[in-house]
Amino acid sequence: MNITLLKASIAVASMLVAFAGPALAQGQPAKTGKVCSTATLRGGYGYTSTGTLLPAYFPPSLTFLAGPFAEVGRQTFDGMGNTNAVASLSTNGNINQDVSIYGTYVVNQDCTGSMTLQIPSLQTTVHMDFVIDQHGTGIRALSTDANVVESRDYRKQFNDDR
């Protein structure tokens, strides 16, 4: 009977450790003093983006661009809340190269954040929420605008501050 009780106790303890581990890990950045800030994003990042742009997203003169969407570009963050990018876009099969993008961003202590990007050639503003991962070498973002389904994946270039 004691062996059965011992085995049950070990099983329960193992489950507690297994389930408590992820919960403890979520609080780890605050305990170690490692938190994110706007300065966490500094330097150049290559990115890809895919999704769908609905007709209501565009001004009437640009609704022909509505449909499947893909993008590749390079975005630079200055560590002070300003960003700019150059990208190539495919919007509903229409190719746009050397598209200039600029905007602002904020980063929260939990390594989440948001950005607002202006795209003058498409007469549009993009709002995105993001999370910084891989110790600042990656970013995952999602558009928060109505009539847009877009996700982005960023990778730090050269691991430098260019």
In this structure, the answer to whether residues 45 and 113 fall within a common structural domain is yes
We report the CATH number of the domain holding residue 80 as 2.40.128.120
Q: Return the structure tokens found at 7.
A: 């085995």
Question: What is the spatial distance between Cα 102 and Cα 119, in angstroms, rounded to a whole number?
Answer: 7
How much is the pLDDT for 122?
Answer: 85
Are 22 and 102 part of one and the same domain? no
Q: Which residues contact 158 (CB under 8 A, 6 or more apart)?
A: 44
Q: What is the sign of the dihedral through the CA atoms of 53, 55, 56 and 59? A: positive
CA distance 77 to 19: 37
Written as tens digits, the pLDDT of the chain (162 aa) is: 455 444 444 444 444 344 444 443 444 444 445 689 999 999 999 999 999 999 999 889 999 999 999 999 999 999 999 999 999 999 999 999 999 999 999 999 999 999 999 999 988 899 999 999 988 899 999 999 999 999 999 999 985 554
* Residue 72 sits in the same domain as residue 56: yes
Does 107 fall in a domain? yes
Q: How many Å apart are CA 13 and CA 114, to the nearest integer?
A: 40
**Number of domains the chain contains:** 2
Task: Dig out the tokens for 22 from the structure.
Answer: 């992820």
Query: What range does the domain containing 10 cover?
Result: 2-32
Q: Is residue 162 part of a domain?
A: no
Are both 44 and 24 inside the same structural domain? no
Q: Is residue 98 part of a domain?
A: yes
**Strand-pair partners of 51:** 69, 150
Same domain, yes or no, for 68 and 18? Answer: no
DSSP element (H, E) containing 19: helix 2-26
* Pair 20, 77 in one domain: no
- Nearest of 39, 90, 54 to residue 69 by alpha carbon: 90
The pTM assigned to this predicted structure is 0.76
Q: Is 142 part of any domain?
A: yes
Q: Under a CB-based contact definition with an 8 Å cutoff, are residues 139 and 133 in contact?
A: yes
In degrees and rounded to multiples of 5, residue 39 shows phi and psi of -70, -15
Indicate if 91 and 117 belong to the same structural domain.
yes
Residue 122 region, left (φ>0) first, then alpha (ψ -120 to 50), else beta? alpha
